[in-house]
Amino acid sequence: MSAMRVDTKVVMLGKESVGKTSLVERYVHHRFLVGPYQNTIGAAFVAKPIQVGDKVVTLGIWDTAGSERYEAMSRIYYRGARAAVVCYDLTDSSSFQRARFWVKELQNCEEHCKIYLCGTKNDLVQADRGLRQIDFHDAQDFAEEIGAQLYETSSKTGNNVDELFQRIAEEYSDSAFQYMSNEAGVDLSQKKDSYFYSCCHNN
Amino acid sequence: MEGDVRNKARASWDMGSLPPVECLRIERSDSPTPDLVEGTEPGAGQQAAMFVHSRSVEDLPAEADEDAESRVEPQPVADGDPGSSETFGTSENGLQVEENIIEVAQAPKESSWAESRTKEEDICSDGWRSHRKHVFVLSEAGKPIYSRYGTEEALSSTMGVMMALVSFVEADKNIIRSIHADGYNVVFLSKSPLVLVAVSQTRQSDKEMIRELQYIYYQIVSLLTLTQLNHIFQAKKNYDLRRLLAGSEHLIDNLLRRLDRDPGLLLSAVTCLPLASSSRDAVSASLQAAKAPSLVFSILMKDQYLHHMDLHLVFNLVCSSSSSFREGEGWTPICLPKFNSAGFFHAHISYLEPASELCLILVSTDREEFFSLSDCKQRFLERLRKRNAYQALKEAVKTPSYSVDLVGIPELRHFLYKSKSSGLFTSPELPGVYQSEEGQERLMGLYQELHSRLHHSTRPLLSIYRCGETENFMAWLTSGFELYLCLTPLVTKMQAVSAVNKLLKWIRKEEDRLFILSPLTY
């Protein structure tokens, strides 16, 4: 699976338990796992080919852990990402603050990375409007301000999930067409960057 | 004096601000065991009494603590052997200094438990109290970091008391090791900047419990590295470590559960998949051929190249995160404290095939090397297929264990055999009698007890033969191996000895299948 060529790197960011893994699960495996919350450890990688027009684009999706413990090393996961899905929980205002943090981080370190804001757990909000803590228009304003696109998704029902990733793939495909001469995807066998990292670089 | 303390403690227990005491409770606190401890030495008589007692309680109807239990984790058999409230520790020496402290300590505990209520599990409830083993982790500033049951916030005053105990004894240039009172063992492990405390009603010795606390300590170190841990607390003494550990509590929960069940943690050994030596060689060769420059270790299922403690931590990590690695590939920093507590390694964790049980763990020093390790895995898989070893491996995984009948000793129910030179152990499937959670933990408890007798710090033993009501045990420690046999209760000593000899012969015959005789290194 991983031996295939990955065209573009997509990274999932956001506070813990907002549902990044669920979003990936829904998109890649078309399922929603019910059960006790399990946090992601480190990060998980999955490659997913997707049809855009008459071409196939392979997204290399990095599902990162939201836990603060991994924050110091989050850079290795989003470095070189062409798209970032910054997730927040529609029913948790603190997760939106965290999303702002990630956006700032990306703007500082990865200026070529396109940002997709994603409000998760839309099904909860649909079921009970009182649960909503993040107003759609506030989020919309923020998205405009940072030049991002906004999606509200539900991994439980699948609402808007495919649209989000389809959009990512399309936009990549468009931009790849424009910059075809510059770079042609990421070669998995490429050697690592020249700078040196010690194994205890996290401090 | 001792009796005094116990009575007082029990009085406060009963009078304390408890919810109405139901019959189970009475049954338990009125159990004859305290008196038993007074009279008997830790020996056969006491064992027998214990069996009777544990059975009588198992016969009781539903568990009282079930309702208070809101976590999903399986109930640690609170009632497996409450007779265990006796300890052989009481007769032991040296630690009695704290006897008078316990009275002081219990009073504030009672009141603080009464005040605070938690959503998760009411720490005032009987259910909370009757858990067999509590584990607490706190910082040296007395800040709660982890509690096995109940929320840490609710326990902050209790933890404060624990810290007070530790520093009170420390003030006299002494170290508090344990407190024994009212059937409870309270064991302290001070590992600056952390303090770990276990409160148990089991028959485990202090040494066993310290070992378990050490596992918990190393689990925390493996998440953060020791360097980072020290750094954090040097910068800010009252840092709330839970912020960094958020989401990993279940790793510790799971580790504690495995400590109760997995003989590997007891024996400080791991087990490997029984595999014909030719296929094992093929697998190892494929692994070696597929190496990358930064690769430090590769573990396929259960091959051992590492300190057993580190290996168990890696296994715990993988086992605790059931689904997330299954279809994708994980890439996570992990510190292997016995190998290097200062830095992180990076582990590439993947299943060979989404549906397969085989998990490959590649450990690298370089966090940029994800894709080269990913390649590594592919190469390994291809090579494995080419040599037809993959099929053999898949077959072997289908039957990861073997039945004890294979050995051909009818009296033998179960055994543990640890080969000291390789650090590997082997043991058959649990027979029917022990397959339930309670049964499994009871058997493990008995093994644990034998183990702590063999490895007693002042009076180590070389062999033990023990008759019980429900099973007989034989334990034998030599320079080359460690062996524990669980036999049917009617076996005589002669039969047991011949069973040992037969078993050893069988193991020698199967040696190359059960153990890794020639581990490869990079």
**ipTM of predicted assembly, 2 dp:** 0.73
Q: Does A197 touch chain B (CB under 8 A)?
A: yes
In terms of pLDDT, which residue wins out, B58 or A90?
A90
pLDDT score recorded for residue B7: 40
Q: Which long-range contacts (CB under 8 A, 24 or more apart) does B494-502 make?
A: B495/B411, B496/B411, B496/B465, B496/B472, B499/B409, B499/B411, B499/B412, B499/B474, B500/B474, B500/B476, B502/B407, B502/B408, B502/B409
Give the integer Cα–Cα distance in Å for B402 and B102. 48
CA distance B344 to chain A (A): 5
Q: Does A112 touch chain B (CB under 8 A)?
A: no
Taking an 8 Å cut-off on Cβ atoms, the answer to whether A40 and B324 are in contact is: yes
Give the integer Cα–Cα distance in Å for B244 and B255. 18
Per DSSP, the three-state class of A181 is coil
Taking an 8 Å cut-off on Cβ atoms, the answer to whether A69 and B342 are in contact is: no
- Which residues is A84 bridged to in the sheet? A11, A115
pLDDT score recorded for residue B433: 82
In terms of pLDDT, which residue wins out, A53 or B513?
A53
Cα B380 to Cα B294, B330, B361: the distances in Å are 16, 17, 12
- Which residues is B138 bridged to in the sheet? B144, B195
Q: Does A21 touch chain B (CB under 8 A)?
A: yes
> Which of A45, A67, A192 is opposite residue B329, by nearest beta carbon?
A45
Taking an 8 Å cut-off on Cβ atoms, the answer to whether B375 and A188 are in contact is: yes
Q: What is the pLDDT of residues A58-75, one digit of tens each?
A: 999 998 888 877 887 777
The beta-strand segments (E) located in B95-168 are: 133-139, 144-147
- Which residues is B195 bridged to in the sheet? B138, B190
Provide the b/e sequence for B105-134 (b: ≥16 CB within 10 Å).
Answer: bbeebbebbeebebebbbbbbbbbbbbbbb
Taking an 8 Å cut-off on Cβ atoms, the answer to whether B247 and A44 are in contact is: no
Task: Over range A41-64, report the average pLDDT.
Answer: 88
Per DSSP, the three-state class of B439 is helix
Least confident of A88-97, A150-159, B118-127, B416-425: B118-127
Give contacts of B 66-105 with A, CB under 8 A.
72
CB B356 within 8 A of CB B397: yes
CA distance B283 to chain A (A): 21
pLDDT < 70 positions in chain B:
1-120, 271-279, 284-308, 319-327, 354-357, 400, 517-522
* CB contact set of A35 (below 8 Å; sequence gap of 6+): none
CB B479 within 8 A of CB B384: no
Give the integer Cα–Cα distance in Å for B123 and B144. 15
Q: Does B346 touch chain A (CB under 8 A)?
A: yes
CB B440 within 8 A of CB B261: yes
Give the integer Cα–Cα distance in Å for B417 and B285. 27
As a residue count, chain A comes to: 203
First to last CA, chain A: 34
> Which of B247, B323, B372 is opposite residue A67, by nearest beta carbon?
B247
In terms of pLDDT, which residue wins out, B369 or A132?
A132
Taking an 8 Å cut-off on Cβ atoms, the answer to whether A41 and B332 are in contact is: yes
pLDDT score recorded for residue A161: 93
pLDDT score recorded for residue A136: 93
Element (H, E) at B218: helix B206-224
Give the integer Cα–Cα distance in Å for A28 and A165. 10
- Which residues is A56 bridged to in the sheet? A51
Confidence of residue A182 (pLDDT cuts 50, 70, 90): very low
CB B310 within 8 A of CB A24: no
Using alpha carbons only, what angle is made at residue A137 by residues A133 and A141, rounded to the nearest 5 degrees? 115
Q: What domains can you pick out in chain A, each with its CATH number?
A: 4-199 (3.40.50.300)
pLDDT score recorded for residue A119: 94
CB A90 within 8 A of CB A56: no
In terms of pLDDT, which residue wins out, B172 or A135?
A135
Q: Shortest CA distance to B190 belongs to which of B158, B168, B205?
A: B168
Q: Does A201 touch chain B (CB under 8 A)?
A: yes
CB A59 within 8 A of CB A185: no
Q: What is the pLDDT of residues B449-464, one digit of tens each?
A: 899 889 888 888 889 9
Mutation target vs A (from B73, B321, B324; most A CBs, 10 A cutoff): B324
pLDDT score recorded for residue B501: 92
Give the integer Cα–Cα distance in Å for A57 and A48. 8
pLDDT score recorded for residue B93: 34
Confidence of residue A37 (pLDDT cuts 50, 70, 90): confident
> Which of A2, A39, A73 is opposite residue B333, by nearest beta carbon?
A73
pLDDT score recorded for residue B262: 82
Q: Given phi > 0 = left and psi -120 to 50 = alpha, else beta, which region is B487? A: beta
Give contacts of B 244-303 with A, CB under 8 A.
244-248, 250
Backbone angles phi, psi at B77, to 5 degrees: -50, 90
Cα B477 to Cα B362, B419, B493, B506, B515: the distances in Å are 35, 11, 17, 18, 19
Give contacts of B 300-319 with A, CB under 8 A.
317
> Which of B322, B323, B375 is opposite residue A189, by nearest beta carbon?
B375
Give the integer Cα–Cα distance in Å for A78 and B16. 55
**DSSP assignment letter at B431:** P
Q: Which chain B residues touch A3 with a CB distance below 8 Å?
A: 375, 378
Q: Does A104 touch chain B (CB under 8 A)?
A: no
Provide the b/e sequence for A133-159 (b: ≥16 CB within 10 Å).
Answer: ebeeeebeebbeeeebebbbbbbbeeb
Q: If you average pLDDT over every residue of chain A, what do you get?
A: 83
pTM for the model: 0.70
